[in-house]
Amino acid sequence: MHKVAVVGASGYTGAELLRILHRHPGVKITCVTSRQYVGEPISKVFPSLRERVDLVCEENDTELIADKADLVFTALPHKTAMEVVPGLLAAGAKVVDLSADYRLRDVGVYEQWYQEHSSASLLDTAVYGLSELYRGQVATARLVANPGCYPTSVILAMAPMIRAGLVDLSTLIVDSKSGASGAGRSAKVGTLYCEVNEGFKAYGVGSHRHTPEIEQELSALAGTPVQLNFTPHLLPVNRGILSTCYFNLASAKNTSQLVEYFEASYAGEPFVRVLPEGELPNVSSVSGSNICDIGVVSDERTGRAIVVSAIDNLVKGAAGQAVQNMNLMIGADEATGLLDVPPFP
Amino acid sequence: MHKVAVVGASGYTGAELLRILHRHPGVKITCVTSRQYVGEPISKVFPSLRERVDLVCEENDTELIADKADLVFTALPHKTAMEVVPGLLAAGAKVVDLSADYRLRDVGVYEQWYQEHSSASLLDTAVYGLSELYRGQVATARLVANPGCYPTSVILAMAPMIRAGLVDLSTLIVDSKSGASGAGRSAKVGTLYCEVNEGFKAYGVGSHRHTPEIEQELSALAGTPVQLNFTPHLLPVNRGILSTCYFNLASAKNTSQLVEYFEASYAGEPFVRVLPEGELPNVSSVSGSNICDIGVVSDERTGRAIVVSAIDNLVKGAAGQAVQNMNLMIGADEATGLLDVPPFP
Amino acid sequence: MHKVAVVGASGYTGAELLRILHRHPGVKITCVTSRQYVGEPISKVFPSLRERVDLVCEENDTELIADKADLVFTALPHKTAMEVVPGLLAAGAKVVDLSADYRLRDVGVYEQWYQEHSSASLLDTAVYGLSELYRGQVATARLVANPGCYPTSVILAMAPMIRAGLVDLSTLIVDSKSGASGAGRSAKVGTLYCEVNEGFKAYGVGSHRHTPEIEQELSALAGTPVQLNFTPHLLPVNRGILSTCYFNLASAKNTSQLVEYFEASYAGEPFVRVLPEGELPNVSSVSGSNICDIGVVSDERTGRAIVVSAIDNLVKGAAGQAVQNMNLMIGADEATGLLDVPPFP
Amino acid sequence: MHKVAVVGASGYTGAELLRILHRHPGVKITCVTSRQYVGEPISKVFPSLRERVDLVCEENDTELIADKADLVFTALPHKTAMEVVPGLLAAGAKVVDLSADYRLRDVGVYEQWYQEHSSASLLDTAVYGLSELYRGQVATARLVANPGCYPTSVILAMAPMIRAGLVDLSTLIVDSKSGASGAGRSAKVGTLYCEVNEGFKAYGVGSHRHTPEIEQELSALAGTPVQLNFTPHLLPVNRGILSTCYFNLASAKNTSQLVEYFEASYAGEPFVRVLPEGELPNVSSVSGSNICDIGVVSDERTGRAIVVSAIDNLVKGAAGQAVQNMNLMIGADEATGLLDVPPFP
């Protein structure tokens, strides 16, 4: 039985980690932390956890945490994460960090889009935890940088096309839509119920911080620098990201052929479902699960392909993928505890 | 490994049964039926099931079903259910029937609120499957009548108070609110998105068919006939029932005392959580789980108590409770496969 | 052209006042105030107002406001309102106050449910602005206490029954449900999108501050003190209150007879629609309008009546009713600017 | 007072026409038709209309309709519309047709995307009713083809850019999202509450019938054939369309410069609001109104511009624009009855 801790348990990602870890047969949650709720049961913060996960929130004391747990999930905002992660590693724990702090390999790019980096020496150690791409490295990593929610949806959608050389790389446009849990649980007017409900808007156009993360991974796949337009939108649902990706086909293919590339790429993957020709994803078919659904259409009229992917931003986009990485790191089957059917409706 | 079938798999309750049974360690789903989708994979009807439950829908042929499965869940509309259940029993299967057809012990009451009963001889055989009240009988039953969603929420809320003699039985008023999945998956204008979203209404006032079911069980608990007002409302959420129950206290008690009665009644119950004084249930803290949350307030100003209960209508109000009953019937731990943390948000 | 001001324009009620006043043919909005946004255009706070209402937010300076406007709407929290209203009256303005500060005639009751009252001498001057009950007094008032949202829905539902002597007054129970805009626009975790969406809960059970307001008005109608149970719930919609009222009939009446009482009581009322037997209100049929829909059922089985009313909490429950009162105060037709069809869906 | 009729009043667009026409000072609604509800009051179909619009539904008898009304709104499905429109014109009425039947000038294109056209001789007579582009022709038209909802949002977003020669026409990609009222009011499983709520999906990728309509108008503006990718998505809100348009800039411009082009193009337009640099539209700021909000960003990193527009699909995308056209046709001020502030929240 592996002992695990969740640092930053009072956010939505923290709660989702606890939900998923609670039902995992190979681990025991031994420690939860939350600066805001020290001394209070986490089930008071999230009544859904009552009588299921009844730990009391502790301080973010890295030695204490590493003493109680072999593997630690840090579910903290960027910048705060890198104040905690080095101490956890030094104290001997393995870490899956769900912040942005260790995702970008180039510290210069990080500092351009975020702020100064205080822990750059660890960037070489960190493995980008998109298991479908890096599972070998994840298995031996001490620090996994869990991918961002939007990047997960986009990279899984684009990887097979880029690997196959089918993408005119100068034409890539990604239009993404995320549910409101992606905005976190801090009290802000902009995420009040009445501000989000019956609304829909784009935000961060041309400037969202997930852009360099997507570009880093697509560039690695292409073997050449890739730039794209990435436009996120705020969707009035609790959970779910749908990304609609457009690009000019480098060589003519019909929809059926494109589906075949995806099927070949993702054969045997437990969490990527390639939809047959004529079907397209809906976030409601994956929400609550670690699944990524992908559909594709070749528009022969314009010579473009449209790839659509759907994930749950809190699961495959955060907590579920983190547990998938943990499974690799502890030598368990990668899918352990993550194979549930998504609840619908 | 017990073999189970789901008859009527293309409704929301059918899908939820498949979701829950898929992750149950002690059963194998061997047959799903749907008259409307014979020959089609159930994962085409519900894309959430793709690569998880990939059975093909079959006809409602009772011999065939009983041949494939030891225990059958019938998730059919009332009246249709009793055309199928007798054949399944005759063919040797155990049945958990999720319709209303075997819930009312008095055929006269059934015929007054529903229509003619074609299978009345089985009413004595059937056990009312509210496990918290009847687990002994359920364990040996061949036919379990799975309770209605509203009745589950109301009976669990009222049983401890009635047993304790605290209820002035002539004063009971129940105001319930249910999510839209309770209305089923058939195409009707009244349950279109735009008709339900941003709306809220009462319906079936004074005439809802769950009234006699609630009265039957509360009368049994009270040892004397109970009549009440039951008013359901349609709530713009997918899942969840919240019932607010009002009654005059037969003897003065404060909130703290009332909470103690509930705690004593439900000590050790895996699925009933009694909230501490000052906290009240929210459907979002139980949706997706088999849990019933209960809170109570004594209004000393008016001499009344208000009990509030919350369940997921598709789980504790239908599929989850059905599997809880199945667990008892197959000799498994009652909570097997049902102890997950509710996803929030 | 009457000149009007809105004090506290940056809340949802303030925005709704501006929306309604903008299309009123007899008034000109000359001043808006918001402490938080002094110097900023109100259309920056609410982009819906852009190019329609482009005033700049000013300080809450009572002399300045009274200089610019003949009639002032104060849309402030209780306690803050009574710091501003006396000054506005002293400076010669008429005031429609949308807070709770002048609704309760008995200062002792106010101080029991709220806090100390610093402006009690004005309580005799204030007229309770439920136009359907007090339109004569409103017409000549200098200070109107605009009713609370829940009380409006309950008093309109119960007045005809109490006046007719049909209510066993010791049995009254009111179960109300309100949309999230009733909780205001300040940033709190409890009203974040993900906390409200797909959720439903009761709150303030036995302790909500609208209880004494409802009891005050029902007692006045009954000519004897009335106590009741009032239970509010938070509904996942932007707008709308539905109140379900239960009471024992003092003398047996069928539904058709009860409908007639309502029709007689509200004949000629521009904003109360009595639904025919067999129909019940839905908040989506009134949201966006100043209308109150009322339906009634006599449950002859239990001897109780159930009255259901629906309003838009921001319109008939706040800004619309305030303008209705203003119309009476300025000698305009009571319905001016308020007769629109509710948008549906 | 002009007499107007609404043919096909029992759909959402019909209801919205009645809502808007009811408050128009220059017209009287003299006739409503609905094949499904002949003989029933339209307020029974839509309780929101009760005591506001109390006409009884009549048959679609063109002579009778033209006898009662000078101007007729046909809110029928395509194909059904062209069975009715010729008769109405022959009987002397002016017609604003809200279907797709007269929008495409080229009958071949129509027959390729829809089905056979039975009324092609009227295509030369029909004026495409996007008032901002064609107000002169609309004013003298006998038959106006009211634009589709998606095309309205896209053409208004792109017209200033194309006219200015700023668009590399081969690179245009439009990603649109529409609320569920766009799917109409007929009973289908796919638009049930539980199927749409908490969901989000693309549909009609590469094949949506609004594509040729958009291309027709953008080609006319460009003076050369334009092809684009148009991808609609189903948004879990009642009302609203947001279109996100991407294209390579034909010459480098920064955001501020692009905003200026929009401001110059739409100066004086009563219903198009150009947002300042740094602000982007939200459907909740326009829903319930005839307004189109437009924001633009120049992404200098990629050389692309992103234009975002928001409308209410039932108002500017249907009924409101139809009344705007009517105003021009009857010689009234174009904005009469349409200048309300959008309700928020």
pLDDT in the model for residue B211 = 98
Given the residues B31, B57, B149, B292, select the one marked as catalytic. B149
Average pLDDT over residues C103-127: 97
The pLDDT, as a whole number, for residue C81 is 98
A180 touches chain C (CB under 8 A): yes
pLDDT category, B276, cuts 50, 70, 90?
A: very high
- Residues B57 and B31: their CA atoms lie apart, in Å, by 8
Write out pLDDT tens, residues D264-290. Answer: 999 999 999 999 999 999 999 999 999
Q: Show the tokens assigned to C309.
A: 């009313």
Q: Of A149, A194, A245, A292, which one is the catalytic site residue?
A: A149
At residue D47's C-alpha, the angle toward residues D43 and D48, to 5°, is 105
Chains that touch A (3 or more CB pairs under 8 A): B, C, D
Calculate the average pLDDT of chain B: 98
| CA–CA gap between residue D340 and residue D334 (Å, rounded) | 14
Contact residues on chain B for D191, CB-CB shorter than 8 A: 192-194
* Predicted local confidence at residue B137, as pLDDT: 98
Residues of C tagged active-site: 149
- Residue B341 has its nearest CB partner, among A49, A239, A285, at A49
Which pLDDT value is given to residue D288?
A: 98
- Structure token pair of residue C229: 């149970």
Question: Pick from A279, A338, A288, A335: which is nearest to A313 by CA?
Answer: A288
**pLDDT at residue D205, as a whole number:** 97
Confidence (pLDDT) at B53: 97
Share of chain A above pLDDT 90, in %: 100
Exposure string for D290-314, b = 16+ CB within 10 A, e = fewer: bbbbbbbbbbeebbbbbbbbbbbbb
CA dist list (Å): D314 to B100, B106, B295, C170, D303: 41, 52, 43, 48, 34
Q: Give the number of beta-carbon pairs within 8 Å between B and D.
A: 59
Q: Test A187 with C192 for CB contact under 8 angstroms.
A: yes
Question: Tokens for D214?
Answer: 């958009």
Query: Hey, are the CB atoms on C48 and D23 less than 8 Å from each other?
Result: no
- Per DSSP, helices labelled H in C49-164 are 62-68, 81-90, 107-113, 131-139, 149-163
- Which residues of chain D make contact with B188, given a CB cutoff of 8 A? 187
Dihedral, C88, C89, C94, C96 alpha carbons, nearest 10:
70
**In whole numbers, what is the pLDDT of chain C averaged over residues?**
98
Asked if A312 reaches chain B (Cβ–Cβ under 8 Å), the answer is: no
Say yes or no: C186 contacts chain A, CB-CB below 8 A.
yes
Q: What pLDDT is recorded for position B341? A: 97
Q: What's the pLDDT score for residue D16?
A: 98
- Residue A110 confidence class, pLDDT cut points 50, 70, 90: very high
Nearest-Cα distance to chain D for B221, in Å, is 36
Chain B nearest CA to A144, separation (Å): 25
Tell me whether residues A239 and D283 touch, CB distance under 8 A: no
| Beta carbons of D237 and C193 less than 8 angstroms apart | no
Name every chain A residue with its beta carbon within 8 A of the beta carbon of D243: none
User: What interhelical angle do A320-329 and A131-139 show, nearest 10?
Assistant: 40
The separation between CA C196 and the C-alpha centre of its own chain, rounded to angstroms, equals 22
- What pLDDT does C51 receive? 97
pLDDT tens digits, residue range A240-278? 999 999 999 999 999 999 999 999 999 999 999 999 999
Give me the pLDDT at residue B263, please.
Answer: 98
Quick one: pLDDT at residue B326? 98
Q: Is the separation of the CB atoms in C228 and C164 below 8 Å?
A: no
Residue C321 contacts D where some CB pair is shorter than 8 Å: no
Q: What angle do CA B268, B270, B274 make, to 5 degrees?
A: 75
Tens digit of pLDDT for each residue in C30-76?
A: 999 999 999 999 999 999 999 999 999 999 999 999 999 999 999 99
Residues D289, D290, D292: CA angle, nearest 5 degrees = 105
Interacting residues of D131 by C-beta distance below 8 A, sequence separation 6+: D138, D321, D324, D325, D328, D334
Cβ–Cβ below 8 Å for D185 and B193:
no
DSSP notation for B191-236: GBHHHHTT--EE-STTT-THHHHHHHHHHHHHTS----EEEEEEES
ipTM greater than cut 0.90? yes
Q: How confident is the model at residue D212 (pLDDT cuts 50, 70, 90)?
A: very high
Q: Which of residues 205-224 of D touch A (CB under 8 A)?
A: 205-206
**Would the pTM of this model clear 0.95, i.e. be above it?**
yes
Closest Cβ–Cβ partner in B12, B185, B193 for D180: B193
Alpha-carbon distance B176 to nearest alpha carbon in chain A (angstroms): 21
- C290 at D interface, C-beta within 8 A: no
- Percent of chain C predicted with pLDDT > 70: 100
On chain B, the residues whose CB falls within 8 A of the CB of A16 are: 343
CB contact under 8 A, C48 and D273: no
Average pLDDT in the C231-251 region?
98
> How close B283 gets to chain C, by Cα (Å)?
5
Q: Are A67 and A90 in contact (CB under 8 A)?
A: no
Q: Is residue B304 less than 8 Å (CB to CB) from chain A? A: no
Average pLDDT, integer, range A181-197 = 97
Q: Please check whether residue C12 touches D, CB under 8 A.
A: yes
pLDDT at position D223: 98
pLDDT of residue B96: 98
Could you report the per-residue pLDDT of B323-333, keeping only the tens digit for each?
999 999 999 99
- Of A227, A241, A238, the C-alpha closest to A181 is A238
Mutation target to probe the D interface, by most D beta carbons within 10 A, among B194, B239, B283, B287 is B194
Task: Please state, rounded to an integer, the average pLDDT across all residues of chain D.
Answer: 98
* CA nearest neighbour of A303 among B8, D325, D173, C301: D173
Pairing of strands B201-202, B229-235: antiparallel
B1: contact with D, CB 8 A cutoff: no
Q: What is the pLDDT of residues B266-275, one digit of tens each?
A: 999 999 999 9
Q: In 3-state terms, what secondary structure has residue B310?
A: strand
CB atoms D197 and B191 under 8 Å: no
Tokens coding B208? 């809802």
- What angle do the packed helices D12-22 and D320-329 form, to 10 degrees? 50
Residue C197 sits at the chain A interface (C-beta within 8 Å): yes
Averaged pLDDT for residues C258-278: 98
Q: Which residue of C has its CA nearest to D51?
A: C273
pLDDT for the residue D306: 98
| Contact yes or no for C181 and A194 at CB 8 A | yes
Supply D79's token pair. Answer: 């194909």
Closest-CA residue to A21 (of A81, A72, A84, A68): A72
The string of pLDDT tens digits covering residues B202-249 is 999 999 999 999 999 999 999 999 999 999 999 999 999 999 999 999
Q: Give the separation between CA A217 and CA A133, rounded to whole angstroms.
A: 10
Judged by CB atoms closer than 8 Å, whether chains meet at A47 and B239 is answered as: no
Q: Which residue of A has its CA nearest to D226?
A: A302
Quote the radius of gyration of chain B (alpha carbons, Å).
Answer: 20
User: For residue C216, what pLDDT is reported?
Assistant: 98
Please write the tens of the pLDDT for every residue from B291-333: 999 999 999 999 999 999 999 999 999 999 999 999 999 999 9
C229 closest CB neighbour out of B233, B238, B306: B306
B99, containing H or E segment: none
Give, in order, the Cα–Cα distances in Å from A124 to each of A143, A144, A224, D215. 10, 11, 20, 50
Angle in degrees, 0-180, between the axes of helices C149-163 and C131-139, rounded to the nearest 10: 100
Taking an 8 Å cut-off on Cβ atoms, the answer to whether C193 and A188 are in contact is no
Kindly determine whether residue B187 and residue D185, on different chains, have CB atoms separated by under 8 Å: no
Amino acid in the structure at residue C262: F
**Residues within 8 A of D (CB atoms), C 84-103 only:** none
A1 part of contact set with chain C, CB < 8 Å: no
Report pLDDT digits (tens) over A207-237: 999 999 999 999 999 999 999 999 999 999 9
3-state SS assignment for residue A47? helix
Q: How far apart are CA A304 and CA A245, in angstroms?
A: 10
Instruction: Name the phi and psi angles at C74, rounded to 5.
Output: -100, 110
pLDDT of residue D168: 98
Nearest CA among C206, C109, C220 for reference residue C158: C220
Q: Please report, for chain C, how many H helices and E strands are present, in that order.
A: 11, 14
> B188 and chain A: CB distance < 8 Å anywhere?
no
Nearest one of A103, A136, A102, A98 to A122, comparing CA atoms: A102
The 10s digit of each residue's pLDDT in A38-60 is 999 999 999 999 999 999 999 99
pLDDT on residue D296:
98
What pLDDT digit, counting tens, does each position of B90-144 carry? 999 999 999 999 999 999 999 999 999 999 999 999 999 999 999 999 999 999 9
Q: How confident is the model at residue D224 (pLDDT cuts 50, 70, 90)?
A: very high
A238/D198 touch (CB, cutoff 8 Å), yes or no: yes
In chain D, the residue whose alpha carbon lies closest to the alpha carbon of B10 is: D189
Interface contact B201-C345, CB threshold 8 A: no
Which chain C residue has the Cα nearest residue B195?
A: C345
Q: Given this model, what pLDDT does residue D63 score?
A: 96
In DSSP terms, A29 is beta-bridged to: A4
Structure tokens at B337: 């496969």
Q: Which of B181, B192, B312 to mutate to test the interface with D (most CBs of D within 10 A)?
A: B192
Sign of CA dihedral D16, D18, D23, D24: positive
CA–CA dist B246, B339 (Å, integer): 30
How near does any CA of chain D get to the CA of B222, in Å?
A: 38
Q: Does C198 touch chain B (CB under 8 A)?
A: yes
CB-based contact A287:A342 (threshold 8 Å): yes
Q: Which of D74, D99, D157 is nearest to D326 (CA)?
A: D74
* D343–A contact, CB cutoff 8 A: no
Please compute the mean of the pLDDT values over residues C131-153 and round it to a whole number: 98
Residue C46: predicted pLDDT:
98
Quote the DSSP letter at residue C76.
-
Is B140's Cβ below 8 Å from some Cβ in C? no
pLDDT category, C270, cuts 50, 70, 90?
very high
d(CA A48, CA C171): 35
- Test A238 with C197 for CB contact under 8 angstroms: yes
Of C15, C181, C341, the CB nearest to D49: C341
